[in-house]
Chains A and B, each alone.
Chain A
Amino acid sequence: MQLYRSHVLVCGGTGCTSSNSEKIISEFEAQLANNNLQNEVKIVKTGCFGLCAQGPIVVVYPEGAMYTMVKVEDIKEITEEHLLKGRIVKRLLHNETHDDGSAKSLDGVEFFKRQMRVALRNCGVINPENIDEYIAYDGYKAFGKVLTELKPAEVIDILKKSGLRGRGGGGFPTGLKWEFAAKQPEGKKYVCCNADEGDPGAFMDRSVLEGDPHSLIEAMAIAGYAIGSDQGYIYVRAEYPIAVKRLQIAIDQAKEYGLLGKNIFGTDFSFDLEIRLGAGAFVCGEETALMTSIEGHRGEPRPRPPFPAVKGLWEKPTILNNVETYANIPMIILKGADWFAGIGTEKSKGTKVFAVGGKINNTGLVEIPMGTTLREVVYDIGGGIPGGKKFKAAQTGGPSGGCIPASHLDTPIDYDSLIQLGSMMGSGGLIVMDEDNCMVDIAKFFLEFTVDESCGKCPPCRIGTKRMLEILERITNGKGEEGDIEKLETLAKNIKASALCGLGQTAPNPVLSTLRYFKDEYMAHVVDKKCPAGVCKSMMKYVINAETCKSCGICAKQCPVGAISGEKKVPYVINQDKCIKCGVCMEKCPFKAIFKNV
């Protein structure tokens, strides 16, 4: 095979693909051909690098030069300057890599330096559509070791010793789960993967599926060997088209190489894997609903026990793990339980991937050792909050989780510390909020989501969350009544205690946790009819400061409903009856004479 002098890695994750990385690749191919470089330079489409805010990302090796926010028009310059003449195009480098005028490689970037990549080890490094590249980085070596050197019980032992816990939400010890299923009488058993990532703002699993699909296949095959199963299913949402496509390519390649199928590595172990597409219902991320959906029924949860390890898919013993959990397993087998247990905190081992979003500079994916503080994630890796605004809270665990206020910025993040704070790890969404966010509004947003996504099977979730939402809508509309907060608390407790599945049991969490830390904001809404952050529209108005208004008339021209009037030398006035509170006037005023009155 051909040896190239330079590799150009172009991110093919969903984020960068939506900002044109496919076209960038074809433009590179055209430019390379133009300059007769196609036999010297290789274009590699990789998975997500994690720094999605700066996409599309292109990394050129051997220099390791990292270009960010690359446009199709820039490709000609990169090809002619860098690839042809060897002059790095500094203009397009990630700004941090040439602060001092010299061009550094991406290893020197603060965003990557502080991370520890285990689950994401191959994302942005290999071509996910090429099984050979996965194998080159020790892929399927763990699987080979397991099949030829270890007994199933020994595999489970390694996992138990490693302390790996489920990365999908609950944090149940993975080794224990496998042991339950392994101890069931021999017969048909199933290995399932939950890739139905549905939390708003979370995309850790998508990134693994897109950037390193073989790690999932390898881990599921290992699981099959450990519990005595020969069939696996990956349940992935149809809204992830790139992930589905790459996963299918990966499965086909693994079958072609005989890494899936019959008598793998010459042993008597056989394992097959199939994809099942979900239609996007949030509840199908709940394990029993997910299995019901695979069986071909409407995705509704069923009561536990019996747990899936005893009676799961088609009433057979089944293990179900999340994508990120699986992605850790080959590394644990190769490097040993002690290595993994050496990372993280006492009860939370290893690393965790977070999808960081909201009011933060470096929106993207980060993988950090458990026990890293929230402050490090937000300020050191995340690059802080745009516009120098003040940190107010971070929401973890999506609609099942809660918020962590600024007073707990220095808490080490792990499963137990988050539970103590009234939030949870969840699958790893981390939404940062600043002083401009209204916490009652945030709670309402998440509750709207769960009300929409409730499957309707049990009344506490179907009716209870709807009632909670009505109360929140009343409060944010300035019509909150005395006793509303108490009603919310009672309803929340009852729903938590009586809902059928995880979705309902955790749905009140965002309300409970905002009530715990930001009760004063709720009080301000209910008692004073004020929204301190100026978000809830019915409780704020835009006002023109008569002293600083220069009567230029720009605001009146911009107002979409004609609510502003005035004339030369007389300050303009907003007609509050007509105003729809869109905020355009404040944005456009050149003299900053318009402000929010809360």
Chain B
Amino acid sequence: MKSLAELEEIRKKTLDQMSLRKGNDGMRVIVGMATCGIAAGARPVMSAFVEEINKRNLTDVTVTMTGCIGVCRLEPVVEIIDKDGNKVTYVKMTPEKAARIVAEHIVNGRVCVDYTIGEAEK
């Protein structure tokens, strides 16, 4: 260890990887992973979220799973809850949609309206 800057670098890098043990203060991605969700392809959707978030080094985003939300016909269902508790529900998800949601909604705060449950039900 030659300098404090070197120490700080290790600190930042590792802290990013550990941030999820500090509780949920950032955005949460919740993937419905009940039988219906898994059968409809929720696993690759979730993997896509993890991969995209990884790629972009987003450290305040957590990906968790939940059970059946009740609209099995619209699975895979993904909910995104922001810092202030606002919830957006996306339906009939695919890995491609996941990549767009990460880029537009999670990074830039623009909801992908055309994927939401409100749009699907029209």
Query: A residues touching B (Cβ–Cβ < 8 Å)?
Result: 1-7, 9, 40, 61-64, 84-87, 105, 107, 125-126, 132-133, 135-141, 144, 148, 257-259, 264-266
Q: With A62-B62, A62-B64 given, is the CB distance from A265 to B1 under 8 Å?
A: yes
Known: A1-B17, A3-B53, A264-B1. A136 touches B62 (CB 8 A): no
Provide the B1-37 mask, 1 if CB < 8 A to any CB of A, else 0.
Answer: 1111001001101111110110110001011011000
Give the interface of B toward A (CB within 8 A): 1-4, 7, 10-11, 13-18, 20-21, 23-24, 28, 30-31, 33-34, 38, 46-47, 50, 53-54, 57, 59, 62-67
B7 near A5 with CB under 8 A, answer no
Closest 5 CB pairs of A and B: A86-B65, A136-B14, A136-B15, A258-B1, A132-B14
CB distance from A554 to the nearest CB of B (A): 49
Given A3-B54, A136-B14, also A148-B4 (CB < 8 A): yes
A-B contact count (CB 8 A): 96
Cross-chain contact A61 with B20 (CB below 8 angstroms): yes
A132, closest chain B residue (CB): B14
The A interface is mostly helix, strand or loop, or mixed, namely loop
- Nearest B residue to A258 by beta-carbon distance? B1
Within the complex, which residue of B7, B34, B47, B50 is in contact with A140, where a contact is CB–CB below 8 Å?
B7
Contacts of A133 in B (CB 8 A): 14, 18
Asked if A136 and B50 make an inter-chain contact with CB atoms under 8 angstroms apart, the answer reads no
11 contacts between A and B (CB under 8 A): A3-B57, A5-B50, A5-B62, A40-B50, A61-B21, A62-B62, A85-B33, A85-B65, A132-B10, A136-B15, A266-B2
Q: Are A144 and B7 in contact (CB under 8 A)?
A: yes
Decide if A6 touches B7 in the complex (CB within 8 Å): no
Beyond A3-B17, A132-B10, whether A266 also contacts B3 by CB under 8 A is yes
- Write the nearest CB–CB distance from A118 to chain B, whole angstroms: 18
Given the interface contacts A7-B21, A85-B67, does A259 sit within 8 Å of B1 by beta carbon?
yes
Residues of B within 8 A of A140 (CB): 1, 7
Find B20's partner among A7, A136, A258 (CB 8 Å cutoff).
A7
Interface centre among A5, A85, A105, A265 (most CB of B within 10 A): A5
Q: Is the CB of B20 within 8 A of A87?
A: no
Known contacts A3-B57, A85-B33, then 4 further A-B pairs from the complex at CB < 8 Å, ordered by chain A residue: A3-B17, A84-B33, A85-B67, A136-B13
Please measure, in the bound complex, the distance between the C-alpha atom of A3 and the C-alpha atom of B102, giving whole angstroms: 15
Contact for B66 among A7, A61, A86, A125, CB less than 8 A: A86
- Cβ contact within 8 Å between A257 and B1: yes
User: A86–B23 contact, CB under 8 A?
Assistant: no
**Contact residues in B for A137 (Cβ distance below 8 Å):** 15, 18
Residues of B within 8 A of A4 (CB): 17, 20
Q: A63-B64, A266-B3 are in contact. Are A135 and B11 (CB under 8 A)?
A: yes
* Residue picked from B11, B24, B28, most chain A C-beta under 10 Å: B11
**CA–CA, A68 and B65, complex, Å:** 22
Given contacts A3-B17, A133-B18, whether A265 and B10 have CB atoms under 8 Å apart is no
Residues of chain A with a CB closer than 8 A to B33's CB: 84-86
Tell me if B17 and A64 are in contact (CB < 8 A): no
Given contacts A2-B54, A84-B33, A85-B33, contact A265 B3 (CB under 8 A): yes
Minimum C-beta distance from B121 to chain A (A): 24
Choice from A64, A87, A144 contacting B4 with Cβ under 8 Å: A144
- State whether A62 and B67 are in contact (beta carbons under 8 Å apart), knowing that A141-B7, A144-B4 are contacts in the complex: no
B62 CB → nearest A CB, Å: 4
Query: With the chains together, A85 CA to B34 CA distance in Å?
Result: 6
Name which residue of chain A comes closest to B1, CB basis.
A258
What residues on B are CB-neighbors of A138 within 8 Å?
11
* Min distance, Cβ A74 to any Cβ of chain B, angstroms: 19
Cβ distance A12 to chain B, nearest Cβ, rounded Å: 16
Query: A136 with B3: in contact, given A3-B50, A62-B62, A84-B33 (CB under 8 Å)?
Result: no
Least Cβ distance of A311 to chain B in Å?
34
CA distance A62 to B46 in the complex (A): 15
Among A86, A136, A148, point to the contact of B18 (Cβ < 8 A).
Answer: A136
Query: Once bound together, how far apart are the Cα atoms of A259 and B2, in whole Å?
Result: 9
Contacts of A7 in B (CB 8 A): 18, 20-21
CB distance from A27 to the nearest CB of B (A): 21
User: Which one of A9, A64, A144, A266 lies within 8 Å of B23 (CB-CB)?
Assistant: A64
Query: How far does the alpha carbon of A40 sit from the alpha carbon of B43 in the complex, in Å?
Result: 11
Alpha-carbon distance between A141 and B54 when the two chains are bound, in angstroms: 28
Q: Quick check: A86 and B31 within 8 Å, CB to CB?
A: yes
Which of chain B's residues have a CB closer than 8 A to the CB of A86? Answer: 30-31, 33, 64-67
Q: How far is the CA of A136 from the CA of B33 in the complex (A)?
A: 32
Chain A residues within an 8 Å CB radius of B38 = 85
Distance between A592 CB and nearest chain B CB, rounded to angstroms: 48
